[in-house]
Amino acid sequence: MTIHLPQGDLARVTCHESDDAYPTMIEIVAWWGPVGKAGARKGKRRSIEIPADQFFGRGRYGAPMSGDYVVGMIDRLRRQK
């Protein structure tokens, strides 16, 4: 015997955003040095790549990355030599 549960209002709503709209990799880039004419960057460039699953808290990661953690990553970029 099959039980049919009534559908709620959200079941009838059209979804305009697909679940596959997430990027696969997030890159944080930091620049040190002057900005030249027309916004040309000069100086040191440091970057770090973060898997999207870690950033958004999907897959084996339980929760999205907190802002404190992202600020800590930027601070580590600053301290690199």
Q: What is the pLDDT along the chain (81 residues), one digit of tens a residue?
A: 677 777 777 777 776 665 667 788 999 998 888 777 776 777 888 999 999 999 988 888 888 999 999 999 999 999 986
Query: Does residue 4 sit within a domain?
Result: no
Q: For the whole model, what pTM was predicted?
A: 0.60
Predicted local confidence at residue 76, as pLDDT: 92
Which token pair is 80? 């690199």
Query: Does residue 61 sit within a domain?
Result: yes
Total structural domains within the chain: 1
Q: Tell me how far apart the alpha carbons of residues 28 and 32 are, in angstroms, rounded to a whole number.
A: 14
Domain that holds residue 49: 23-35+43-81
Query: Does residue 72 sit within a domain?
Result: yes
